[in-house]
Every structure is written in C-alpha cells, then in structure tokens.
Homo-oligomer: A and B are copies of this chain.
Amino acid sequence: MKQMIEDIEVRAREELFININPIQAAGRLTPEAMKAIISYGDGYSTCDWCGKPFRLDKIRRPPISEFHVELAKFVGMDQARVVPGARRGFQAVVSSLVEKGDSVIVSSLAHYTEFLAVEDVGGVVKEVPLNEENVITGENTAQKIEKVKRETGKLPKLIMMDHFDYMLGNEHDIHGVAKVAKDYDISFLANCAYSMGVMPINGREMSADFLVGSGHKSFASPAPSGIVATTDEWADKVFRTTQMVGDVTGRKFGIKEVEMMGCTLMGANLIAMMASFPKVRERVKHWGDEVKKINYFVNEFRKIEGNKVLSEMPRKHTLTKVDTTGSFDKIAQTHKRRGFFFSDELKKRRIVGEFAGATRQWKLNTYGLTWDQIKYLTHALHDIAKKYGIN
C-alpha cells in the first residue's frame, strides 16, 4: 500500500520531453490554470460564495456566472454549461432526446463515448459511411437517414457528427450534415472535442443545435472537464430544471438541472478552465500556424522511403495518423527490441508520446510545438531513418 503510493511518479514529460501524444497536446495546462488548481484544489472550493439561487453556474465570486456567458459567446451559441468531460455532454443531450429503440446517426469514425451515450438510453447507433477521402459528407448522411427510415419506419432522433475525428483528424462536412439535419428536421450535435479550444468555432454558423467540447482534450484544462452548448430553443429541454416533489416533505429543487445532475463541473477543474480561457481565446486565432507546422512535418516525414500519411492531405488538423509499415516496421521485424527500437530511438532524442512499440500505423499530434521543435522532430525522424539505412 505504502509502496503503491510511492509508485505515483512525478510526471514531468511535458517539461523534459517533446510530447507528440495524440490526445494530450491541447490539454496541457497554461501557467494560469496551474496556479488556479493550486489555489482551488480543495474539494468544494468553488462554493465559498454560493448564494441564491444556489447553482454553480450562477456563482459570481469567483466569476463563474460571467464565464458561462462568455463561453457561450466564444462558441457562438446561446447557452453553455461545463460538464465532467465531453462524454458527459453527449450523455446529457442523448438522454434528453433519445428514447429506447430510437436511432442516432453517427460517423463511421465516431468516438466510442458517442456509442455509450446512446447505448445507455437503449438507443441504436447507425453509422454513416466515409467517402473515398475518409470524410463524412452531407450526401452520405442523407442516404443513411433514408436507409434508417426504410428499415425502421422512423427517422433518427439525433445526428451526432465529429467536426474533426479522433482517428485521422480529418475534417468532416459539418455544414453539409447540418443542412441535411435541417432538411429532415432532425436535431444535430457537432462533436468539437478536437476543435473547440484550438481553432475558431461558431455553432450558429455550423447550424448546430448542440456543440460538445473537451476541456482536457482541447481547452488547456485538467480532466475531467468539458463543455456542452446549445441554442435558446433547445436549452429548455437539455437544461430543463427538476420537476420532482418529495411526496412526504413537499420538497422541490426548482433550479437544479436534471441532465447536469444539479451543479456541474466544480472545483479546481472549473477554475482552471476559466484561468486558461483568455489564452484559449487567443490561441484559436493562431490555428493557421499550427496547420502550417503539421504540413511542414508531414511533407518532411514523407521524404522517408516507405512512410505514408493516412489522414487527409493537406492536413487541416495537427492530429495525424501515419503509416511506417514500409520503413520503421521493416527494421522492427529483425530488431531484438522489435517495435520498441523506434520508441527507444525517439526517447533517446527526448521525444515521447508515440504509441510505444507501434511501428505500423500510429498517431501523433504536433499541437503547440514551436517551429524549432517541429524541425527538431523532423530531423530526429530523418536521423533514425538514416541510422537504420532507410532512404
């Protein structure tokens, strides 16, 4: 037991290494967020000044209430709430809209948490096929809706579509899908876990009824943290307040929102999101530079013989899936450390975050790396290739 706790190592990979982990890049804390969690680490720290009407998102000191207003504006929606992770945002929306047996349209690259949110209420997911560029289009979405209608006799209740998917980091045709959703009068959730907080997002322009974002994935915040935003039209449904009355006591809890389970994301995580918010608002303006860096990287990367990029090209996102079956994996076949030779070589060069041991298909994310770091990373890969005789 004592040993167990001593086994919690000091985590310093963000300080000591270049970290290309696909899911960690945009969730690194800002210095402001780090200060915030030190100050607000204690359990119910955000409740010091909670007064009427006794709900977290109404608290004015610290300015939680103002943050909620600004957050909704930032993503181009009318109302926003913070939740313990994007998955809890999917859950809130699905639980409000979908009943047992209902169909929900998702992408063939949908994140598994979208599946779970639907399964939890007894719904059924229906995947939209990718086109030949591994992108979801409005057309394919419409065809899938028609198919569901034919097979089940009912329209799907909800379309959940990833703005950028978790697997390839491809951009999907959110506008096309939104148009189809409107045509069929099906509500539409845009999963912006990989976009909200790194690039400019406007839910209204996307014609989305719901936006979901991730704090720990793309908002420089600690886990778990996430965002669910909606329009005034839908807020009454998804943020509906409790109607329960105690049959003995007559108690009511009128302002507490059912899907939020009352007060939502509290404590250090919330204050960290707030503390990171000004930098997040600023950084989305520089998304173009991030895209330039990943495109520089993939172009250099493909100069190594046998290397391939599986994500769409040119890159529109820093999350990228690559294939080194024709290069590093050939070395792994005969190396005594197998695929780990590659991790060893990267680590020697102070690079971590690739999937250890993988030398065929793997993902990386260059978000937040400086140009110097990008060039260093590129050089490191060329250097490893050269060492093992790959052209």
A278 CB contact (under 8 Å) in B5, B9, B272, B275: B5
Name which residue of chain B comes closest to A56, CB basis.
B223
The answer to whether residues A41 and B37 also contact, given A8-B271, A88-B261, A116-B258 and a CB cut-off of 8 A, is yes
A108 CB contact (under 8 Å) in B40, B117, B246: B246
Asked if B46 contacts A223 (CB within 8 A), the reply is yes
The answer to whether residues A217 and B44 also contact, given A62-B9, A224-B265, A248-B127 and a CB cut-off of 8 A, is yes
A70 CB contact (under 8 Å) in B4, B61, B217, B224: B4
Asked if A261 contacts B223 (CB within 8 A), the reply is no
User: Does A236 lie at the interface of the complex (its beta carbon under 8 Å from any beta carbon of B)?
Assistant: no
Task: List the B side residues contacting A4 at CB < 8 Å.
Answer: 63, 66-67, 70, 274
- Please give 15 more A-B residue pairs, beta carbons under 8 A apart, in addition to A28-B43, A42-B222, A108-B246: A1-B278, A4-B66, A5-B277, A8-B274, A24-B47, A26-B43, A27-B43, A41-B222, A41-B272, A43-B216, A43-B223, A95-B120, A118-B244, A120-B259, A223-B269
Copy count, this protein chain = 2
How many chain A residues touch the partner (CB < 8 A)?
98
User: Does A361 lie at the interface of the complex (its beta carbon under 8 Å from any beta carbon of B)?
Assistant: no
Write the residues of chain A forming the contact surface with B, with a CB cutoff of 8 angstroms. 1-2, 4-5, 7-14, 21, 23-24, 26-29, 32-34, 36-48, 51, 61-63, 66-67, 70, 84-85, 87-88, 91, 95, 108, 110, 112-113, 115-120, 125-129, 215-217, 220-224, 242-244, 246-249, 251, 253, 256, 258-259, 261-262, 265-269, 271-272, 274-275, 277-278, 281, 356
With the chains together, A256 CA to B87 CA distance in Å? 13
With the chains together, A119 CA to B29 CA distance in Å? 36
Most B C-beta atoms less than 10 A away, residue of A14, A28, A256, A267 = A267
With the chains together, A242 CA to B262 CA distance in Å? 27
Name which residue of chain B comes closest to A5, CB basis.
B278
A116 CB contact (under 8 Å) in B28, B67, B126, B262: B262
Smallest CB–CB gap between A85 and chain B, Å? 7
Name which residue of chain B comes closest to A214, CB basis.
B43
Asked if B268 contacts A115 (CB within 8 A), the reply is no
With the chains together, A344 CA to B126 CA distance in Å? 61
Most B C-beta atoms less than 10 A away, residue of A115, A259, A278 = A115
With the chains together, A128 CA to B45 CA distance in Å? 32
The answer to whether residues A33 and B41 also contact, given A7-B61, A244-B115 and a CB cut-off of 8 A, is yes
